[in-house]
Structure 1
Amino acid sequence: MKDITNNFLETIEPVYTPGIIKFDFDRFDAAIKAAVSELSDEQLDNLEYNDIKDEFTRFNSLLTKLETKRKEIAKVYKNPLTEFESNFKSSKEPLKEIIDKLRAKRDEIDEHHRMLRVDHVRSVFEKKCEFAGIDKDTFKDKYDGYSLKKYFKDRKIELKTETIEEIDALVLAEYDRIEEHKANIEMIEEQALDYELPAEPYTRALNNDAPLVEILKQMKMDRDAAVERKQQVEAKQKAEAARLAEIEAMAKQSANEEIKAVNAETGEVIEKSKPADETPIKPVEPYKIDISLTFHGGEKQWHQFAKLLEDNFINYEIL
């Protein structure tokens, strides 16, 4: 490639030669101040119309002359700048085009090198994940970050020692986290088995980042609630069994000696035996009375009385 280090393009630059504009502002300001002082509002009120016209013409002509000269000077200064900017805008276009082409090519090469570095980082992470027995894609969101040149040896697709150590620390921390999570899952499953609870709701809570301590606490509360419900059911069943046993005992005690069996729930005679020469016993006719009851203990007392009627197989009707 041609060496252009010291050629014309490397050294050319615009040259500006400043001009000098001479004007005695101090004397100008003093003269204006003196003239203005002679024309106060009170003095203006005392001037004749023609005198006012003369003064106006004199000062206005002075300002017009100075503004005309200023514009002439400004034009002399401005024209070269306008011409320079116009020519520069036209001449720089080919230079901009080659710069754009070079930039695109540079970016293309930079991106290629970056992708090589990304691929190398990916390979390093995947190998270390495989060795640790964890998912190889665990750190894929970190590939781009570690593809920066500062993490690589100079002009090599090879990570610095400190970068590798940093990656090792990340992989080890993830391995420890996974192992701890597995241990927590096992602890929850064992506790669930011991408490006779389903493990899935609690392992799901752990996967949703709920603290293990809170999960174990909730499991104990659920276990205690389940035990209490079981005890209530057993107590209810025991009470029901005792009630049925009491009914059966009462039925046996009040039944005729010839009655062999009584339904424990209804009191109905299941089987009878009688001597062959004994006159058959007529069935008892239902006895019905109409009564009016007043429960001074309120509705609770009525419910207690109704239960007593039901326990003794007495039918009732509320009118």
Structure 2
Amino acid sequence: MKDVTNNFLETIEPIYTPGKINFDFEAFDKAIQKAVSELSDEQLGNLEYNDIKKEITRYKGLDDKLDAKRKEISKIYKNPLTEFENNLKKSRKPLRELVDKLRAKRDEIDNHQAMLRADHVRAVFEKKCNLAELDKDTFKDKYDGYSLKKYFKGNKIELKKETIEEIDALVLAEYDRLEEYKANIDMIKEQARDYELPADPYVRTLQNGTPLVEILREMKKDRDAAVERKQQVEAKQQAEAARLAEIEAMAKQAANEEIKAVNAETGEVIEDTKPVEEEAVKPSEPYKINLSLTFAGGEKQWHQFAKLLEDNFINYEIKGENK
């Protein structure tokens, strides 16, 4: 490439020769102080209206004259500066265009190199994911970060040793995380089998980020609740079976009491047997007991039991309910 920078371009620069503006500020300040002291507040109070107007004209004229001179000097200084800036802007335009072209070419090369680095990083991650039996796009969001020049050796498309070690650590950590996740799912499924619970809801809870210990604790609560419900159902069933058995026994007893004696040879019903007479002669004495009953089947079961008592002429007294 031809060297377009020569000694002249490298050394040329504007040269400013400062000018000097002569003005005796010290004498000016003294004169101003003297004028101010001659026109104190008390002296101003003694001046006539026309005298005040004359003093305004006098000092305003002096101030205007000084400001006009300032503007004149400013113009003398400003015009060369404006001319210099306009000429320099025009002369710098080709130089700026050249710099822009060079930057565009540099950016083109940088972008190409960045693309090569990104492809290399992607290939490294995919290879390591394949070895660890991970999805090849697991670290897709890491590619751009590791494509920076600081992770590569000099101008080579080759990762530094410490960069590779860092990538290995990321892959290993993800592998361990997935193994732990799989083990957690297996534990949930095994616990679900032991507790006779469906595993899918708890697996979804794990997928949503809930810690395993909380899931296992919830599974135990659900298991305990299911056991309690089962026990309640069994108790209800047992109570119902006992009630039916009692009804059946009482029905059999009633039926037996109604059976009359029969002559074995003739089949004739014997109306008055001695045991019956004795039973009639000896009426049973009332028998009273105090019970506290709990009906697992609820109020409905109590009403059924109460009807049974009434059907068998058993008197009862309610001392209280749900105590």
Question: Under TM normalisation by the shorter chain, which class is it?
Answer: 0.7 to 0.9
- Identify the residue that residue 304 of structure 2 maps to in structure 1: 307
Please state whether the residue corresponding to 1:17 is helix, strand or coil: coil
CA distances 1:139-180 after superposition (whole Å, capped 9, x unpaired): 110000000000000010000000000000110111111111
In 2, Cα distance between equivalents of 1:224 and 1:105: 73
Name the counterpart of 2:100.
Answer: 100
What does residue 154 of structure 1 align with? Answer: 154
Unaligned runs of 5+ in 1: 260-275, 280-301, 315-319
- 1:272-318 CA distances to partner (integer Å, 9 max, x unpaired)? xxxx9999xxxxxxxxxxxxxxxxxxxxxx9888434544796xxxx
> 2:203 aligns to what?
203
The equivalent residue for 1:119 is 119
CA distance in 1, matches of 2:151, 2:300: 84
Q: Report if the CA contact (8 A) 1:126-1:136 is conserved.
A: yes
Q: Equivalent residues in 2 for 1:263-274 (5 A)? A: none
Aligned-pair identity in percent equals 74
- After superposition, where does 1:46-195 map in structure 2 within 5 Å? 46-48=46-48, 51-195=51-195
Q: What is the alpha-carbon distance in structure 1 between the residues aligned to residue 302 and residue 229 of structure 2?
A: 29
TM-score normalised according to structure 2 size: 0.78
Partner residue in 1 for 2:250:
250
Change (3 A) 1:307 1:9: same
Asked which structure has the greater RCO (Cα within 8 Å, sep 6+), the reply is 2
Q: Shift of residue 100 of structure 1?
A: 2.6
Q: Counterpart of 2:10 in structure 1: which amino acid?
A: E
**Deviation at residue 6 of structure 1 after TM alignment:** 2.4
**Offset, 1:245:** 1.2
Q: Bigger shift: 61-70 or 201-210? A: 61-70
Match of 2:110, as an amino acid? D
Flag the 1:51–1:235 CA change in 2: closer, same or farther, 3 A: closer
Aligned AA (1:127): K
> Once structures 1 and 2 are overlaid, which stretch shifts more, 46-55 or 14-23?
46-55
Change (3 A) 1:224 1:46: closer
TM-aligned CA distance change 1:85 to 1:242, over 3 Å: same
SS at match of 1:210: coil
- The Cα offsets for residues 9-33 of structure 1, whole Å up to 9 and x where unpaired, read as 3332222111111111011101111
Provide the aligned C-alpha RMSD in A. 2.8
Separation of aligned partners in 1, 2:90 and 2:5: 24
How far, CA to CA, are the matches of 1:305 and 1:83 in structure 2?
114
The change in CA–CA distance for 1:181 and 1:303 in structure 2 (over 3 A counts) is closer
Distance across 1 between alignment mates of 2:47 and 2:240: 129
Aligned match of 2:37: 37
Match of 2:216 in 1: 216
Shift of residue 79 of structure 1?
0.4
User: Distance between the aligned counterparts of 1:149 and 1:53, measured in 2?
Assistant: 78
* CA distance in 2: counterparts of 1:119 and 1:56, whole angstroms: 82
SS of the residue 2:97 aligns to? helix
Cα distance, 1:89 vs structure 2: 2.8
Q: How many residues of Structure 1 are paired with residues of Structure 2 in the alignment?
A: 278
Aligned to 1:255, what secondary structure does the other structure show? helix
Per the alignment, do residues 54 and 226 of structure 1 end up closer, same or farther by CA in structure 2, a change over 3 Å counting? closer
Q: Structure 1, residues 95-114: CA drift from partner, whole Å, max 9, x if none?
A: 33333332222222211110
Name the amino acid aligned to 1:225: A
1:208 CA displacement:
1.3
The verdict on how the C-alpha distance between 1:51 and 1:181 changes in structure 2, with shifts beyond 3 A counting, is closer
2:225 equivalent in structure 1: 225
TM-aligned CA distance change 1:101 to 1:225, over 3 Å: same
SS at match of 1:92: helix
Contact 1:4/1:10, CA 8 A, preserved across alignment:
no
Amino acid at match of 1:107: D
- Matching residue's letter, 2:4: I
Task: Give, in whole Å, the separation in 2 of the partners of 1:93 and 1:305.
Answer: 106
- Give 1:91 deviation, angstroms: 3.0
Mark the CA change 1:237 to 1:31 in structure 2 (over 3 Å): closer, same or farther. Answer: same
Work out the CA distance in 1 between the residues paired with 2:119 and 2:302: 87
**1:95 to 1:27, Cα distance in 2 relative to 1, 3 A:** same
**Per the alignment, in what secondary structure is the counterpart of residue 105 of structure 1?**
helix
Structure 1 range deviating more: 183-192 or 143-152: 183-192
